[in-house]
Amino acid sequence: MTCTCAIWNIYDMDRPHETSADVESWFRRQVARLWPVALGSLALRRSPCVRERCHACETGEKHASYVLYGRRENGRRFSLYIPDRYVPEVRRALENGRTLQKLLYEAGLRYAEALKRERERTS
């Protein structure tokens, strides 16, 4: 059985002298390359149209369109039609958004560790 403390100390040895200012610089460099950015999901949906006797709708094929789903700041859900020509850009923004979330988790951990080390040095 491996001691969790030993594993943590080995992991922590990678950045033994990192300060909170170092973490900030690292984070700013990482974030600078993450535009465009978005959170949510992109889905291809198939839905019927309003035209009478539409061949695509009658055969069950329906009409395909992309929709961005997400949440507003107040927590309410939204859905937004995305034209086909914008799908690659929106996909890239969503990938960047997931990358940014991961960076935020890592930055929080590294920042807290740096603060603790800085406090230990001044004590």
Give me the residue spans of the domains in the chain: 19-122
pTM confidence score:
0.74
Long-range contacts formed by 103-107: CB under 8 A, 24+ apart: 103/27, 103/30, 103/31, 103/34, 107/23, 107/26, 107/27
Local confidence pLDDT in tens for the 123 residues of the chain: 455 555 545 555 556 688 999 999 999 999 999 999 999 999 999 888 888 888 888 887 888 899 999 999 999 999 999 999 999 999 999 999 999 999 999 999 999 999 998 888 777
Distance of CA 2 to the CA centre of its chain: 33
User: For residue 57, what pLDDT is reported?
Assistant: 81
User: For residue 83, what pLDDT is reported?
Assistant: 95
User: For residue 22, what pLDDT is reported?
Assistant: 92
User: For residue 4, what pLDDT is reported?
Assistant: 53
